[in-house]
Amino acid sequence: MSADDTQLVAIDGRDALFYLIVRPGADTANVVLEHGGKGMSKQQAAYILRTTADKLDPAA
């Protein structure tokens, strides 16, 4: 991702049960994940991520 493609995003996570931010990695084969939250277990968050992924691409 070039500097021309970069956008500023503001996230208010004060009431988020869980958040996940996916950033470009050092090369095109990797990404950097930032995640956290409160009020939800890791298992619940993983279930939501799997369900969302299935909705985005059922064949994946």
Q: DSSP strand E in 1-60: where?
A: 19-24, 31-36
pLDDT for the residue 12 = 79
How far are the Cα atoms of 8, 27, 45 from residue 42, in angstroms, in the given order? 28, 28, 5
Kindly tell me if the per-residue pLDDT of 15 is higher than 80: yes
Q: Report, as an integer, the average pLDDT of 35-42.
A: 87
Q: CA-CA distance, 37 to 16, in Å (whole number)?
A: 6
Tell me the two tokens of residue 24. 């470009």
* Size (the chain), residues: 60
Q: Report, as an integer, the average pLDDT of 37-55.
A: 91
